Amino acid sequence: MIEINRSSILRHFFGCLMLTVCTASAVAAEQPSILFILSDDAGYGDFGFQGSKEFRTPNLDKLAKESVKFEQAYTTAAVCGPSRAGLLTGKYQQRFGFEENNVPGYMSFSGRTGNEMGLPLEQKTIANYLKERGYSTGLFGKWHQGDALQYHPMNRGFDKFVGFRSGARSYYEMSNEEQTAEPEKRLERGIGQFEEPTKYLTDLLADETIAFMTENKSTPFFAYLSFNAVHTPMQARPEHLKLYPNLTGKRQTLAAMTHAMDLAIARVLKSLQDLGLDKNTIVVYTNDNGGPSDTNHSNNFPLSGSKANHLEGGIRVPMLIRWPNVLQANSTYPYPVSFLDFVPTFVDLAGGDADAINGLDGVNLIPYLTGEKTSRPHKTLFWKKENRGAVRDGDWKLLRFPDRPAELYNIAQDQSELNNLANQYPDRVKAMYQQLFNWELTLERPLWQLRREYEGKAMKRMDKYKQTKESMSQ
């Protein structure tokens, strides 16, 4: 008969318990926090680190020197709502019908009103995935994934929300009349607690992000700082306007708004350092789509096109990723990457398995950035909005239009898309048309669609840039 030693059993039990706790703590300590900073409608060339001589962005320029800078970072759409849907889910948003901006005034095939249009509820977000891995999650600023309560950020994986549900709003306090007319633009804290800002909104969003990081400094967090800067309305702090006396009109206002955002980002990064979290926090800065040069006078040089079209100026954006001691500072990454890549990258870094998630279209970027993988993250990327579309295969890019012949460019040799090669390579045009068509067969029908007058404006914008390109090439 075996004699039971109660003392030994207790020692063994508590030893296993301590080992489990220590192991869990070690895993938590290895999970990097994530600070994801997204600006809105910024021009590709409107930052010092992107070559601007007009705008001063010293803090983002400093971040660029500490980061990997991406030479070819792409959004999944040329407008705000669909672009963010692709970012949040890691899937081409057309797969679940989020093809157009969701705003009041658009028509829905299912009869839904603007307030009922949003990110389909069966789609999980990056906040959902990270929350499952023990992360605290917070969103500060613009949501634009549905105005109705069922689409609210705190019903989509975020623990904390201070921002607004719609696609744009004032940078200052809205009047009672404005709040009544457009309730989806009100500044909201949590769910249903509305309180208008008492300071410039760019500054307030930075304050809230800092408070969230401070509250969660002992656990891994995902802080999504979703600026409405530099989206319209064009509203700048007067003291910042004075810093750009050589500029006028909207261009001066845009410079001042960009300046305010740069200062706000500096405060957030300084807080991260003061909290001792900067070494184990991944910092991402990027922008949601190309700058709308006609509405905020942004500059996408050297790219052609702008927000709402599939030229490079509509879908290629600045992007920086900083991760000390893991990614090489002050380096560049040359190959195309996509907003699709954030979900798999963050899930894997949080200790999850992105390969086990059904339907993701992105990849974990870290092995590519460290040199472990030397191939391209993506051989082929697609874009679509109604009957307009684009496909990039290797260095070749095809643009499909409803009212004119397709255009073909070699992006490696012609990033400004000035030399249309479609007539020289008809077989390639045909093959890439087929690629785009085959991809479209995998997509859902759009859940809603632009009214015709909005579509007409988008096509006029495309015509304008076609004329600009023709004059540049002469």
Return the CATH superfamily for domain 31-378.
Answer: Alkaline Phosphatase, subunit A (3.40.720.10)
Cα→Cα distances 452→181, 386, 455, 458, Å? 24, 12, 5, 10
* Poorest-pLDDT segment among 2-16, 64-78, 161-175: 2-16
pLDDT of residue 449: 77
Band of residue 468 on the pLDDT scale cut at 50, 70, 90: low
- Considering only CA atoms, which of 341, 299, 313 is closest in space to residue 399? 313
pLDDT at residue 207 greater than cutoff 60: yes
Q: Which of the following is catalytic: 144, 240, 297, 378?
A: 144
- Residue-averaged pLDDT of the chain: 90
- Check: CB of residue 223 under 8 Å from CB of residue 32: no
pLDDT at residue 415 greater than cutoff 80: yes
pLDDT of residue 3: 41
Whether 240 sits among the annotated catalytic residues: the reply is no
User: Which backbone phi and psi does 193 adopt, to 5 degrees?
Assistant: -105, 105
Three-state SS at 260 = helix
* Poorest-pLDDT segment among 7-11, 240-244, 308-312, 464-468: 7-11
pLDDT of residue 55: 98
The pLDDT tens digits for 402-412 are 999 999 999 99
Strand order in the sheet with 316-317: 316-317, 73-74, 337-338
Number of neighbours of residue 122 by Cβ within 10 angstroms: 6
In the chain, what is the greatest distance between 2 CA atoms, to the nearest angstrom?
99
The two tokens of residue 408 are: 């073909």
Please state the domain extents for the chain. Answer: 31-378, 381-473
Q: Token match 């067969």: residue?
A: 441
Q: Which of the following is catalytic: 80, 152, 231, 240?
A: 80
pTM of the model: 0.90
Q: Token match 């070690």: residue?
A: 26
* Poorest-pLDDT segment among 9-23, 62-76, 315-329: 9-23
pLDDT of residue 18: 39
pLDDT at residue 453 greater than cutoff 70: no
The whole-number average pLDDT for the span 261-277 is 98
Whether 80 sits among the annotated catalytic residues: the reply is yes
pLDDT of residue 461: 53
The pLDDT tens digits for 133-155 are 999 999 999 999 999 999 999 99
pLDDT at residue 349 greater than cutoff 70: yes
pLDDT of residue 109: 54
The pLDDT tens digits for 324-346 are 999 999 999 999 999 999 999 99
Band of residue 473 on the pLDDT scale cut at 50, 70, 90: low
pLDDT of residue 26: 39
Pairing of strands 73-74, 68-70: unpaired
pLDDT at residue 14 greater than cutoff 80: no
Q: What angle do CA 160, 165, 167 make, to 5 degrees?
A: 130
The pLDDT tens digits for 253-264 are 999 999 999 999
Burial of 26 (0-12, 13-18, 19+ CB in 10 A): exposed
Three-state SS at 273 = helix
* Nearby residues of 423 by Cβ (< 8 Å), 6 or more positions away: none
* Fold of the domain spanning 381-473: Arylsulfatase, C-terminal domain (3.30.1120)
